[in-house]
Amino acid sequence: MLERRAEISSKLFEMGTSLCKESHETGDYCVNKAGSLLIFIAGVMLDEKDVEEYGLISSMYAAKRIMDDLEEKNIRISEILKYFNNLDGEEQNFKDN
């Protein structure tokens, strides 16, 4: 299992390095950050604890983005809970408040 992780890590590192080089040629900031992220993940994935912690951090970041989006659209959490607790399968639309 560790051998497979090392193989995947190496491929991610190579892809990340290639993207970073490409971004220096094109000046594309997003490609640079994507490459840096792949290089970071290549290192993280070699340790189970690091993978778990990165997963938790990523989940928290995703939840924050969702909450920010809901706040921006003036959608209340109570409406979200009602939506997910709806068991009859009817489509519901969120009301702007």
How do residues 37-60 score in pLDDT, each as one tens digit?
999 999 999 999 999 999 999 999
pTM of the model: 0.67
Q: How many CA atoms lie within 13 A of 62 on its CB side?
A: 6
- Domains in the chain, number: 2
Same domain as 7, residue 39: yes
Burial 39-78 (b: 16+ CB within 10 A, else e): bebbebbeeeeeeeeeeeeeeeeeeeeeeeeeeeeebeee
pLDDT at 69: 86
User: What is the identity of the amino acid at 43?
Assistant: G
Q: In this structure, are 69 and 87 located in the same domain?
A: yes
- Provide the domain limits for residue 77: 48-97
How much of the chain is in helix, strand and coil states, percent to nearest 5? Answer: 75, 0, 25
What is the model's pLDDT at position 88? 59
